[in-house]
Amino acid sequence: MERLHTLIDSPYGPLTLVATDGVLSGLYMTEQRHRPPQESFGAPDPAPFGEAISQLAAYFAGDSTEFDLPLRLDGTPFQRMVWHELQKIPYGETRTYGDLAEALGKPGASRAVGLANGKNPIGVIVPCHRVVGADGSLTGYGGGLDRKRRLLAFEGGRANGGEDALF
């Protein structure tokens, strides 16, 4: 198993991209909760990240609302189910933890959904920032609530034709 990483700039601070055997397996923000240790990311090498970097640049520029990349989502079967469901949340929209639990056919699993959401290894691309509390409030986000607020404002402004990105 070969792991490589690269660091890119974004409007939300530096992002570390990680590939396992050439497939994107991580996108981590600085000071992110559940961020693996730096030494687990492998050698620095930008080679496997060209398409991911291009799609992220288009997203941050407001030119793209979707990602089309092969992803390696390593986690428990339940976590992978949650992460798959996250990818169905449309750009500019939010869902609650309860909505996700319902969609998974596990209506009592809101808390477990929240835990899985928090361990999402590929932030932004697997849009865990689009999940809010039952009352619509911003709840925990591994990258910090300020980043979550800014990502949602950015997407909300673009989805509604506005220019109110906060960076």
How many angstroms separate the CA atoms of 62 and 76, rounded?
33
**Hey, what are 76's tokens?**
């428990």
Q: Of 131, 120, 115, 117, whose CA–CA distance to 35 is shortest?
A: 120
> Annotated catalytic, 128?
yes
Among the options 27, 100, 116, 128, which is catalytic? 128
**Hey, what are 103's tokens?**
């969609």
Residue 7: phi and psi, rounded to 5, are -115, 130
CB neighbourhood size of 126 (10 A) = 22
**Positions marked catalytic:** 128
